[in-house]
Amino acid sequence: MSDTRTIRLTVNGETGSYTVPVRQNLVDFIRNDLGLTGSHVGCEHGVCGACSIEVDGDIVRGCLMFAVQADGAEITTIEGLAESDRGAALRSAFSARNALQCGYCTPGMLATALDYVEAGGAADRAAIRAHLSGNYCRCTGYQSIVDAVCDVIEGRVEA
């Protein structure tokens, strides 16, 4: 099981070339090889959304993509978002609303919420809930997350 390939990719603006086992999934590579442990693993079968990251502008499940498939891709993780201004308003809104408890779902939740906000989504609670419905949160009741997203869309928070 030692088949490996060399890939080149850009993660949070940093480009590198890496040799990875062909069976390794993307989120394991990001967490274990790059040490970017902000992205989390909740199920490893594409259901919980904890591993959601941005790959070439799309939100993907890092557990359903192999690292080799990301060859040439541009990836942003929660650490990358934190280093830029992107998502700053959402981060303050999440904090003010206590839209996270243990914080384990949060990296995936934030990526998914940001995707909605940046695409110009409306402050429509049912639509937000539908958009978030692939992300599992066991601690909050989801409501504070919906509140936070609405706060940002309606301009109630400063970044």
Contact set with ligand FES (CB under 6 A): 41-44, 46-51, 61, 63, 100-105, 137-140
Say how far apart CA 159 and CA 155 lie, in whole Å.
Answer: 10
> Helix, strand or coil for residue 106?
helix
Can you tell me which of 4, 6, 37, 84 binds other proteins, judged by CB under 8 A?
Answer: 37
Alpha helix stretches (DSSP H) within 36-120:
78-83, 88-97, 106-118
Residue 61 binds what, of other proteins, ligand FES, none (CB under 5 to 8 Å, by partner type)? ligand FES
Task: Give the H/E segment covering residue 20.
Answer: strand 14-21
Instruction: Work out whether 18 is an interface residue with other proteins (CB under 8 A).
Output: no
Residue 35 binds what, of other proteins, ligand FES, none (CB under 5 to 8 Å, by partner type)? other proteins
DSSP 58: E
Instruction: Work out whether 35 is an interface residue with other proteins (CB under 8 A).
Output: yes
- Which residue has 């539908």 as its token pair? 130
Can you tell me which of 7, 77, 114, 152 binds other proteins, judged by CB under 8 A?
Answer: 77
